[in-house]
Amino acid sequence: MSSAIPELPAAASPADILRIGIDAAGGPVSLACSFSLEDVAIIDIAHAAGINLGLFALDTGRLNEETYEVADALVERYRLKIDWYFPAHAEVEQLERTEGLFSFRESLDKRHACCHIRKVKPLSRALKELRGWVTGMRREQSITRNDLKALEHDELNGGILKINPLLDWSEEQLISYSDEQRLPKNHLYSQGYRSIGCAPCTRAVEPGEDARAGRWWWENPEHKECGLHRR
- Residues annotated as catalytic are 226
Burial label, 109 (beta-carbon count in 10 A; 0-12, 13-18, 19+): exposed
Cα(91)–Cα(89) distance, integer angstroms: 5
Between CA 229 and CA 224, with CA 184 as vertex, the angle to 5 degrees is: 25
Contact partners, residue 134, CB within 8 Å, separation at least 6: 18, 21, 29, 30, 31, 32, 42, 53, 162, 163, 164, 165
Phi, psi of 93 (to 5 degrees): -60, -45
* Amino acid identity at 162: K
Helix, strand, coil share of the chain (percent; to 5): 45, 10, 45
